[in-house]
Amino acid sequence: MRKILVLLILLAAPVLTGHGPAWAAPVSLIAGSAGATPVPDTFSDPAMEGRARNLQRQLRCLVCQGESIDESGAALAGELRHLVRQQMAEGRSDQQIKDYLSARYGNFILMKPPLEADTYFLWAAPFLVLIGAAGVAMFVVGKARKAAAENPPDLP
């Protein structure tokens, strides 16, 4: 049993340090639950830990931009996770933490930015891309139909 535990810990080491293959992530969960010492940046209270993870999923990594700070392995995301947990430990609410980070980094840090004058483009961009793609498709189809009408195929 001890050999298996040592093997699991050795396999999990690259994942725990932020390096390693994706298949090793479940191993790190097993090996991480075997130790009695919590990771320094976690709450011992499961409710607070759940709240922290939920809040971290709502904040965008400014380096990766497509990932939340909960998912990202970037150094800045780690610092932001630490900042979130520090402010939670000081008794601030989720909204107060979001407001603080928005004031510091702008609304872009929020995975779901509020609909305001300076975020209209963020909300409209997907629709503008779809409308543009539909316009290009209609242009190409129209041009193909016109070419087919002007040059009918020769039948034997």
Domain boundaries, the chain: 1-37, 43-114, 118-150
23 vs 136: which has the higher pLDDT: 136
Q: Could you give the CA distance from residue 136 to residue 141 in angstroms, rounded to a whole number?
A: 9
Q: Could you give the CA distance from residue 132 to residue 32 in angstroms, rounded to a whole number?
A: 49
Residue 38's pLDDT is 42
Q: What is the pTM of this model?
A: 0.54
3-state secondary structure of 68: strand
> Where would I find the beta strands (DSSP E) of the chain?
none
Residue 22's pLDDT is 44
Token code pair at residue 92: 């601030």
Q: What is the mean pLDDT of residues 16-42?
A: 46
> Which residue from 39, 48, 146, 30 is spatially nearest to 56, judged by alpha carbons?
48
Specify the fold of 43-114.
Helicase, Ruva Protein; domain 3 (1.10.8)
